Chains A and B, each alone.
Chain A
Amino acid sequence: MGSPAPIKDPTMPAPVLGPGQTYTTVTQRLSAIITSRTPLGWIAALLIAGGILQLLMLSATWLLIKGTGIWGLNIPVGWGWAIINFVWWIGIGHAGTLISAILLLMRQQWRNSINRFAEAMTIFAVMCAGMFPLLHTGRPWVAAYWLLPYPNTMSVWPQFRSPLIWDVFAVGTYFTVSLIFWYLGLIPDFATLRDKAKHKISQIIYGVLSMGWRGSAKHWFNYEMAALLLAGVSTPLVLSVHSIVSLDFSVGLIPGWHATIFPPYFVAGAVYAGFAMVLTLGLPIRYFYGLHDYITDRHLNNMGKVMLATGLIVAYGYLMEQFFAWYSASPYEGYMMQNRTFGPYSGTYWSLILCNVAIPQLLWIKRVRLSPIWLFIISMFINVGMWLERFIIVVTSLHRDFMPSSWDMYHSTPWDWGLYAGTIGFFLFMMILFIRVMPVINIFEIRQLVANKNRGEHAETASADD
Chain B
Amino acid sequence: MATKSFDHPFVDKVQQRGLLAGACGVVILFILAFADSQQFFQSYLVSYIYWLVISLGCLGLLMLHHLVSGRWGFVIRRLLESGARTLWLMAVLFIPIALLGMYHLYEWTHTDVVAKDPILTFKKPYLNETGFYIRAVVYFALWLLWMFLLTKWSREQDETGEPGLKSRMINLSGPGIPMFILTVTFAATDWVMSLEPHWFSTIYGLIFVIGGALGAMALCILWVIKLKDVEIYREVDAFKYLSDLGTLMFAFTCLWAYVSFSQFLIIWSGNLAEEAPWYIRRSHGGWQYVGIALIIFHFFLPFFLLLQRAIKRRAALMTVIAIFMLIMRYVDLYYFITPAFGHGGASGLYRYVADVLTFVSIGGLWLGFFAMQLKGVPLMPLHDPRMAETFAGEGH
Cβ–Cβ contact B385 & A239, under 8 A = no
Q: Contact at B203–A11, with CB atoms within 8 Å?
A: no
Contacts of A161 in B (CB 8 A): 269
- B interface residues, tally (CB under 8 Å): 58
Quote the shortest CB–CB distance from B343 to chain A (angstroms).
25
* B266 touching A11, Cβ below 8 Å: no
Please give the distance in Å from B135's CB to the nearest CB on chain A.
13
> Shortest beta-carbon distance, B234 to chain A, in Å?
10
> DSSP class of A's interface residues: helix, strand, loop or mixed?
loop
**A9: which B residues are within 8 A, CB to CB?**
163, 166, 385-386, 389
Q: A251 contacts B383, CB within 8 Å?
A: no
Q: Are B72 and A464 in contact (CB under 8 A)?
A: yes
Question: Is B290 an interface residue when CB atoms closer than 8 A count as contact?
Answer: no
Asked if A251 contacts B266 (CB within 8 A), the reply is yes
- A315-326: CB near B (< 8 Å → 1, else 0) gives 011011100100
Complex contacts, B385 vs chain A, CB 8 Å: 7-9, 11-12
Q: How far is the CA of A344 from the CA of B101 in the complex (A)?
A: 46
- Given A1-B394, A251-B265: A10 touches B164 (CB 8 Å cut-off): yes
Stretch at the interface among B31-39, B177-185, B213-221, B280-288: B177-185
How many interface residues does chain A have, given as a range? 35 or more
- Given known pairs A7-B163, A327-B123, the reply for A250 and B174 (CB within 8 Å) is no
Q: Could you tell me if A4 and B69 are in contact, using CB atoms closer than 8 angstroms? A: no
Which of chain A's residues have a CB closer than 8 A to the CB of B308?
A: none
A2 at interface (Cβ–Cβ under 8 A)? yes
- The reply on B333 being an interface residue by CB < 8 A is no
**Residue from A12, A260, A261 within 8 A of B267 (CB atoms):** A260
> B68 near A329 (CB under 8 angstroms)?
no
Pick from A10, A262, A320, A462: contact of B266, CB under 8 Å: A262
B122 interface residue (CB < 8 Å to A): yes
Contacts of B389 in A (CB 8 A): 9, 12, 458, 461
Known contacts A11-B167, A327-B126; is-contact A3 B258 (Cβ 8 Å): no
**Binary contact readout A175-201 vs B (1 if CB under 8 angstroms, 0 otherwise):** 000000000000000000000000000
Question: Contacts of B393 on A, CB cut-off 8 Å?
Answer: 456-458, 462
A233-286 at interface with B (beta carbon < 8 Å): 239, 243, 247, 250-253, 258-264
Task: State the Cβ distance, B307 to closest chain A Cβ, in Å.
Answer: 9
In the complex, whether B229 has a CB less than 8 A from a CB of chain A is no
Question: Are A264 and B68 touching (Cβ within 8 A)?
Answer: no
Q: Which of B59-90 contact A (CB under 8 A)?
A: 67-72
- CA gap between A5 and B386 in the complex, in Å: 13
A261 to chain B, nearest CB (A): 4
Residues of B within 8 A of A264 (CB): 203, 206, 258-259, 262
- Sample of 18 further A-B pairs with CB below 8 A, known A8-B163, A251-B265, A264-B258: A1-B235, A4-B161, A7-B161, A10-B164, A11-B386, A259-B202, A260-B267, A261-B206, A262-B266, A263-B258, A263-B262, A264-B262, A312-B177, A327-B189, A329-B198, A456-B393, A461-B386, A464-B68
Query: Can you give 19 contacting A-B residue pairs, CB < 8 Å?
Result: A3-B392, A7-B163, A8-B163, A11-B170, A11-B385, A12-B389, A161-B269, A253-B270, A259-B202, A259-B266, A261-B202, A263-B259, A264-B206, A316-B185, A320-B185, A328-B274, A458-B389, A464-B68, A465-B68
